[in-house]
Amino acid sequence: MKPEWSQWAQEAKKQFPEANSSLLPLLHRIQDAEGWLSDETIHDVASLLGLTPQYVESVASFYSLFYRQTVGKNVIHVCVGLSCALAGSDHVMEELEHKLGIREGQTTPDGEYTLLEAECLAACDLAPVVQRNLRFRGRVDATKLDALLTDDGKEVNS
Amino acid sequence: MSQQYYLLRNREVPNIDEMPVYLAHGGYQALRKALNDFKPEELVDMVKKSGLRGRGGAGFPTGMKWGFLPNDGRKRYLVVNSDEAEPGTFKDREIIEHNPHQLIEGIIISSYATKAREAFIYCRGEFLFGSEQLKRAVREAYEQGFLGENILGSGFSLDLEVYRGAGAYICGEESALLESLEGKRGNPRLKPPFPAVAGLYGGPTVINNVETIANVPVIVTKGADWYTSMGTAKSPGLKIFSVSGRVQRPGNYEIPLATPLRTLIEDYAGGMLPGRQLKAVIPGGSSVPLMTPDKLDTPLDYESILQAGSMLGSGGCIVLDDHVCIVGATARLVRFYREESCGKCTPCREGTYWMTDVLDRLEHGLGTPEDLDTLADVADNIGGKCFCPLGDASLGVLVSALKYFREEFEAHVAQHACPMGERLYDTINN
Ligand SMILES: Cc1cc2nc3c(=O)[nH]c(=O)nc-3n(C[C@H](O)[C@H](O)[C@H](O)COP(=O)(O)O)c2cc1C
Ligand code: SF4
């Protein structure tokens, strides 16, 4: 357990009328710092909030944005919703698999990138859409893919 | 097209997401007016009179929903649904990213009207920028004294918290959302009791969509009569339609209800891509039945769309042209429900799995004539037999596709291949 976590747990609890509501915010905060949620982290969060590890695990496993396995420094989500598919998202996925040398669901050996599918990201006006660490890139094409992998991470919202 | 904006004001006022700019353009004047000139009950009446209906999908009258709160002295909550994840819908995202103060002003007025002392925005986990914008705007609102104790000296106090989800479409369903907000898995609750009676932490709770609440300051400023001067008697006012798919200008369009579907697609969204013909429209998000081109003159109001065999839903309008395979498009959408089924009840969990399997088989040319009956049979075992509306939602496009485009399904079987080359996407030149 990192020393600051108990402070974070206290802050999260204070935000809500009932302490259980602090579970998701605390998981988010710790994952933001650690990159993922290990078994040990699940145990630590449980003890910080007075919950059982089984309970924390059952909650964490419900949500697709909580990572229970290590992920790359950059998590790339390719939207595979219908509107993005109509704008070529399947090609975007293929192109990324090719560029990164991995399949969907995998992480590059150097730990830089994880490539994942996302269900409709509610940005169909920008289709096809990709997120890097949850920052949107819209109207992605082959040239933008290179930028997406290497630029400074500035978000493109429109 | 030149247009006046009431909800997407960011389109005409740059940086309206910043407090000083919002204030300079009349921001929080509706809040002052509401607190100074109206009792809570009068505001509920005003919203009732405006005829505003929920923009999250179901179209339930907002004022009536507010009226269901029991008068039993328990602490009340207001929860805003910003989980926007219905495929084809992206209107709430624009509001929270680019006009968040209008939502917050609406939340404060709505909380005053419903006597809620604490409010929450449940923001979809994938909306990282949107949640940052909301958090900043909330902080600014506290600094200005629009949130917190004794707001503008009115005696009314309100706390507002932004809560991030973590990736689950089902958490847009209001009872699953409340579970998630209580730190649990997002499984829907049995209803009744409805949230108005037993919602967040068991207390009386109002849940409304982002766009619904963003309408409230407009109604307070312009009045209920102005609001009902647009649309129809049963579907009054303004609605944002999100148009995506094979049109020239995908985007959000804020228009009066009852505007014809043709106007939305051909004028606002710029019409079809060059040389393409309209094949079908999903007018209200992925959960509603397809409409065929002969229905293009249908006015976009709740009743007319229902009469035309579909639903207005969330206003997420997905446009398919003659180069899109209907079987492939249907497979893609049904797969979404398989991925997002919460797994609580069997017909939805297993049924969406089987339907996806059969549809993929058909699309890849491996289907048999019996597969069409299997699809109909599985659909029959889902419809009306699920714990929450997600199960039924998985059927909207499928059942209508089987009805209107049956020969296309049959052609996949007969030719042992997709006649269109399994095409969802092609560039305009090939
Ligand atoms: C599966 C499912 C997903 C839903 N997703 C959303 C959503 O993302 N946003 C939303 O506002 N309403 C969503 N709803 C509708 C909510 O349950 C609820 O009716 C709505 O938030 C009420 O607000 P309104 O009356 O202002 O529309 C969903 C419903 C279902 C069944
Ligand atoms: S219908 Fe689907 S989403 Fe709804 S409760 Fe059942 S399994 Fe869960």
pLDDT in tens, B331-351: 999 999 999 999 999 999 999
The domain boundary, picked from B173, B193, B228, lies at B228
Please name the residue of chain B whose CA is at the shortest distance from the CA of residue A61: B185
Instruction: Give me the residues paired with residue B240 across strands.
Output: B254
Q: What is the mean pLDDT of residues B30-45?
A: 98
Q: Is the CB–ligand 1 distance for residue B211 below 6 Å?
A: no
Q: Give, using CA atoms, the residue closest to atom 2 of ligand 1.
A: B173
- C-alpha B204/C-alpha A20 separation (Å) is 19
Going through chain A in order, the beta strands assigned E by DSSP cover 74-79, 113-118, 130-132, 135-137
Please indicate, yes or no, if residue B315 is contained in any of the structural domains: yes
**Ligand 1 atom closest to B124 (CA):** 8
- C-alpha B348/C-alpha B12 separation (Å) is 44
Q: Give, using CA atoms, the residue closest to atom 1 of ligand 1.
A: B390
Q: What is the pLDDT of residue A9?
A: 97
CA distances in angstroms from B61 to B89, B164, B234, B290, listed in the order given: 20, 27, 10, 25
CATH number of the CATH domain containing A128: 3.40.30.10
Query: Please, which pLDDT band fits residue A157 given cuts at 50, 70 and 90?
Result: low
Domain around B347:
326-415
Name the domain count of chain A: 2
Please indicate, yes or no, if residue A91 is contained in any of the structural domains: yes
Q: Residue A25: which region, alpha, beta or left (left: phi > 0; alpha: psi -120 to 50)? A: alpha
Q: What is the mean pLDDT of residues B90-104?
A: 98
Choice between B363 and B2, residue whose per-residue pLDDT is larger: B363
Domain around A54:
3-62
- Tell if the CB–CB gap between B185 and A16 is shorter than 8 Å: no
How many angstroms does the Cα of residue B274 sit away from the middle of ligand 1?
36
Instruction: Evaluate whether B310 touches B290 at the Cβ level (below 8 Å).
Output: yes
How many angstroms does the Cα of residue B374 sit away from the middle of ligand 2?
21
- Chain B residues with CB under 8 Å of A27 CB are 166
- Tell if the CB–CB gap between A65 and B166 is shorter than 8 Å: yes
Q: What is the pLDDT of residue B140?
A: 98
Q: What is the mean pLDDT of residues B281-301?
A: 98
Instruction: Check residue B137 and report its DSSP letter.
Output: H
For A125, what's the count of Cα atoms within 13 Å in the CB-facing half-sphere?
19
Which of B17, B244, B418 is best to mutate for the A interface (most A CBs within 10 A)?
A: B244
Name the domain count of chain B: 3
Q: What is the pLDDT of residue B429?
A: 37
Q: Which residues of A are annotated as a binding site for [2Fe-2S] cluster?
A: 79, 84, 120, 124
Q: Is the CB–ligand 1 distance for residue B260 below 6 Å?
A: no
- Tell if the CB–CB gap between B245 and A25 is shorter than 8 Å: no
Instruction: Give me the residues paired with residue B277 across strands.
Output: none
Please name the residue of chain A whose CA is at the shortest distance from the CA of residue B117: A17
Query: Please, which pLDDT band fits residue B319 given cuts at 50, 70 and 90?
Result: very high
Residue A109: count other Cβ atoms within 10 Å of its Cβ. Answer: 9
Using the Cβ of A17 and the Cβ atoms of chain B, whether some distance falls under 8 Å is answered with: yes
Residue with tokens 């339907």: B355
Residue with tokens 């000296």: B153
**What is the residue-wise DSSP string for A63-91?**
-TTS-SS---SEEEEEE-SHHHHTTTHHH
Q: What is the mean pLDDT of residues A27-50?
A: 98
pLDDT of residue B1 exceeding 60, the answer is no
Please indicate, yes or no, if residue A156 is contained in any of the structural domains: no
C-alpha B98, offset from chain centre: 17
Q: Do B83 and B197 fall into the same domain?
A: yes
Q: Do A57 and A119 fall into the same domain?
A: no
Q: Do B186 and B261 fall into the same domain?
A: no
pLDDT of residue A152 exceeding 90, the answer is no
Instruction: Give me the residues paired with residue B260 across strands.
Output: B299
The domain boundary, picked from B321, B354, B376, lies at B321
Instruction: Check residue A20 and report its DSSP letter.
Output: G
Where would I find the H helices in B159-240? 174-181, 210-222, 224-228
Helix (H, G, I), strand (E, B) or coil at A104: coil
How many angstroms does the Cα of residue B23 sit away from the middle of ligand 1?
30
Instruction: Give me the residues paired with residue B163 across strands.
Output: B122
Q: What is the pLDDT of residue A150?
A: 78
Please indicate, yes or no, if residue B6 is contained in any of the structural domains: no
Read off the pTM.
0.97
Using the Cβ of A85 and the Cβ atoms of chain B, whether some distance falls under 8 Å is answered with: yes
Q: What is the mean pLDDT of residues B302-331?
A: 97
Indicate the top mutation candidate among B209, B210, B341 to test ligand 1's pocket, ranked by most ligand atoms within 8 A of CB: B209
Q: Residue A81: which region, alpha, beta or left (left: phi > 0; alpha: psi -120 to 50)? A: beta
Q: Please, what is the average pLDDT of chain B?
A: 97
- Tell if the CB–CB gap between A17 and B118 is shorter than 8 Å: yes
Using the Cβ of A15 and the Cβ atoms of chain B, whether some distance falls under 8 Å is answered with: yes
Q: What is the pLDDT of residue A155?
A: 66
Query: Please, which pLDDT band fits residue B423 given cuts at 50, 70 and 90?
Result: confident
Q: Which amino acid is at B73?
A: G
Please indicate, yes or no, if residue B135 is contained in any of the structural domains: yes
Q: What is the pLDDT of residue A142?
A: 77
Helix (H, G, I), strand (E, B) or coil at B239: strand
Q: What is the mean pLDDT of residues B13-38?
A: 98
Secondary structure of chain B: what % helix, strand, coil (to 5)?
A: 45, 15, 40
pLDDT of residue B130 exceeding 70, the answer is yes
Q: What percent of chain B has pLDDT over 70?
A: 99
Q: What is the pLDDT of residue A158?
A: 47
**Angle made by CA atoms B370, B374, B376, in degrees to the nearest 5:** 120
Q: Do B116 and B249 fall into the same domain?
A: no
Please indicate, yes or no, if residue A158 is contained in any of the structural domains: no
Query: Please, which pLDDT band fits residue B3 given cuts at 50, 70 and 90?
Result: confident
How many angstroms does the Cα of residue B170 sit away from the middle of ligand 1?
9
Q: Residue B96: which region, alpha, beta or left (left: phi > 0; alpha: psi -120 to 50)? A: alpha
CATH number of the CATH domain containing B284: 3.10.20.600
Q: Do A87 and A137 fall into the same domain?
A: yes
Query: Please, which pLDDT band fits residue B430 given cuts at 50, 70 and 90?
Result: very low
Please name the residue of chain B whose CA is at the shortest distance from the CA of residue A156: B129
Q: What is the pLDDT of residue B427?
A: 59
- C-alpha B15/C-alpha B11 separation (Å) is 10
Q: Do B163 and B181 fall into the same domain?
A: yes
Residue range B172-193, pLDDT digits in tens: 999 999 999 999 999 999 999 9
- Which ligand gives the minimal distance to the CA of B345? 2
How many angstroms does the Cα of residue B392 sit away from the middle of ligand 2?
9
Instruction: Check residue B65 and report its DSSP letter.
Output: H
Q: Give, using CA atoms, the residue closest to atom 18 of ligand 1.
A: B174
pLDDT of residue B306 exceeding 70, the answer is yes
Q: Do B121 and B215 fall into the same domain?
A: yes
